[in-house]
A = this chain, B = another copy of it.
């Protein structure tokens, strides 16, 4: 698989893949005789994992740590375990924060929904925008 096809499959640009390779999130892959990168199909799921992490708000550095653990595959040494425990803890904190925020925003939304929509002129833009 060439870079363009791989990037498209993951919904990214070729620029982004080269950038991820540079940052160590994507291992330097084989090259075709002409120098073109040749990716195995698994790269797509790896990229999808990265994207999920990004969407969730993790930094590339954090995602890189998780991927490094995944790449070792075996060797469950205490450092690996601690690292993952920390990531889990961070994720839990993040989820709790988001859930609290959602509740706050839901309150605002209900208050807004309770008002009379007819009172708003669709031709006019809200005063604060």
Contact = CB atoms under 8 A, between A and B. Distances in A.
Q: How large is the interface on A (under 10, 10 to 19, 20 to 34, 35 or more residues)?
A: 35 or more
A-B pairs with lowest CB-CB distance, top 9: A76-B115, A57-B57, A77-B120, A76-B112, A84-B109, A56-B98, A79-B126, A81-B112, A68-B128
B49 A80 contact: no
A97 interface: yes
Number of copies: 2
B100 A52 contact: yes
Interface of A: 49, 52-53, 55-58, 66, 68-72, 74-81, 84-85, 87-88, 91-95, 97-102, 104-106, 108-109, 111-117, 119-120, 122, 125-129
Given A56-B97, A98-B57, A105 B79 contact: no
